[in-house]
Amino acid sequence: MRHAVYAGSFDPLTLGHEDIIRRGAKVFDKLTIGIGINPDKIPLFSSAERLDLISEVLSDLENVKVVCFEGLAVEFVKQEKATVMLRGLRTLTDIESEFTLSLANRTLAPEIETVFLMASEKYSHISSSLIKQIGAMGKDNTEEQLKHFVPSPVIKLLINKLQK
Ligand code: ADP
């Protein structure tokens, strides 16, 4: 059984994340999505909101499970009894930081392998922080614009939070 963990902040889930999850679910027998809770950061979406949104968007994938975790991602992978950490790669900058992170993770847990999927061309420019900027600054057509970046269940909640 090939079991991978895809961990991240998902604040919020983007079309880029969704694409990696759908492709990862085909590569692995089981994929656990770990929503990382960092007590030092105030997220835009609560952990419960992120969990509900991801579960709703990916509800058609039977081999995908969503959970929240605190602490190091490698510890979470071990706890889940998975053997692979799945990551997405967008740009050259991602490659540099992800390489460093995977080396650190290998030192901490040599039995866990990091596997990278290259971002799809049409989503490689998307990040959660970019979406928050668009959501906060957009005018009347923000809802239409956000369709290019995030799954539809994320849109209304995002606009409510940012344009209050
Ligand atoms: P983190 O806080 O760990 O960076 P993110 O939620 O931003 O969490 O990202 C989680 C993972 O998803 C990372 O491996 C990141 O490179 C990848 N990722 C983020 N956005 C995209 C995208 N648009 N396409 C492909 N992979 C992505």
Structural domains of the chain, with CATH:
3-124 (3.40.50.620)
Give the closest residue (by CA) to ligand 1 atom 8: 8
Annotation says 102 is catalytic: no
Q: Specify the pLDDT at position 163.
A: 74
Q: Specify the pLDDT at position 32.
A: 98
Helices 47-57, 152-162: axis angle to 10 degrees equals 150
Catalytic residue (choose from 3, 30, 90, 161): 90
Annotation says 17 is catalytic: yes
Give the closest residue (by CA) to ligand 1 atom 23: 16
Asked if 96 and 64 touch (Cβ cutoff 8 Å), the reply is no
Most ligand 1 atoms within 8 A of CB, residue of 15, 17, 87, 132 to mutate:
17
* Positions in the chain short of pLDDT 50: none
Question: Which residues, in sequence order, are CB contacts of 31 under 8 Å at separation 6+?
Answer: 3, 4, 5, 6, 21, 24, 25, 61, 63, 64, 65, 86
Helix (H, G, I), strand (E, B) or coil at 109: coil
The token duo for 147 is 């369709």
Q: Specify the pLDDT at position 100.
A: 96
